[in-house]
Structure 1
Amino acid sequence: MSTVLDWVSGTLIILGAILALTAAIGIVRFTDTLLRMHAATKPQVIGLNLVLAGTCLRVYDDPNVWMLVLVGLFTLLTAPVIAHLIGRTAYREQRHRKIPLAVNELGDKMDDEQQ
């Protein structure tokens, strides 16, 4: 049974590391703040949680496993909020590509604030 858990744990850790690597590559390669924000949040958070899940399986009998669970939970709670704030700030400072957005929910609010 320990061998199976080791294999599953190793697979989760490697998959998480690959997702974190793709997030890092996306941050470097993307040109726009909004695109970088996407690369910095989704694959990075999922990759971190996969690494934490693999580590939890590896050290399941250690009492410090709950710290790993808390790290994963706090990451899941804070990453979307940070991404939202970064995206809104980038939009307000006009640091995005000038493309017509399908739905521009902040356009009316920005016009009201500037008047």
Structure 2
Amino acid sequence: MSFEIIGIYAVGVCLLLGAGFALVGTIGLLKFNDSMTRLHAPTKVGTIGIGGLLLASIIHSFVYGEGSLHDLLIMAFLFVTAPISANFIAKVNIHKRSCDTPPLPPRDDTWSTLNVPEADRELATQDDTPAG
């Protein structure tokens, strides 16, 4: 088998996997009712799908051309910005209370909050006093 034949098979596999993941992400976007569950499908599955399609483009350009830097830049931009934008959209939905709020932490009201336990409040006031 030549390098071009292996490249054709690799491109075909990447295209099929990428299109399959993109299809699952699109179906999830259409089927889910809540905005938070609807957000999960395109950010996770869709990113992998578009990544597979871009990987197929990268392999094709390296096999038949001189390489493709812009596909790598698109993929890097996509993988960096998709989780950040999904986090911001989820925070907006939580703050607007347009979805179910996360459950309270069990047995601890200070976990991931700004509340300070009673035992630590005395230490916090001692640290604020100037030395000398």
Same fold (TM over 0.5): yes
Question: Match of 1:42?
Answer: 44
Q: Could you tell me how far apart the structure 2 residues matched to 1:41 and 1:62 are?
A: 31
* Aligned with 2:69 (options 63, 66, 70): 66
* Number of residue-to-residue matches in the alignment: 107
- Aligned partner of 1:113 in structure 2 is none
Ranges of 4+ aligned residues in structure 1 off by more than 6 Å: none
Distance 1:25 1:55 in 2: 24
Identity score, percent: 24
Q: Does the CA contact (< 8 Å) of 1:34 and 1:96 recur in 2?
A: yes
- Residue 59 of structure 1: CA displacement? 1.3
What whole-Å deviation, never above 9, does each CA across 1:44-100 have from its counterpart, x for those lacking one?
A: 1111111111111111153561000000000001001100000000111111136x6
Distance 1:27 1:91, change over 3 A: same
Matched, 1:57 2:66: no
Q: Would you say the 8 A contact 1:15–1:47 is kept in 2? A: yes
Scaled by the length of structure 2, what TM-score is found?
A: 0.72
Is the 1:32–1:97 Cα contact (8 Å) retained in structure 2? no
Structure 1 gap segments, 5+ residues each: 110-115
Contact 2:58 2:67 in 1 (8 A): no
TM-score normalised by L of structure 1: 0.82
Q: What is the aligned-residue RMSD (CA, Å)?
A: 2.4
Specify which of 19, 22, 30 is matched with residue 20 of structure 1.
Answer: 22
- Deviation, 1:108, is 5.9
Write 1 or 2 for the structure with the bigger share of helix.
1
In the alignment, which residue of structure 2 is the partner of 1:4? 6
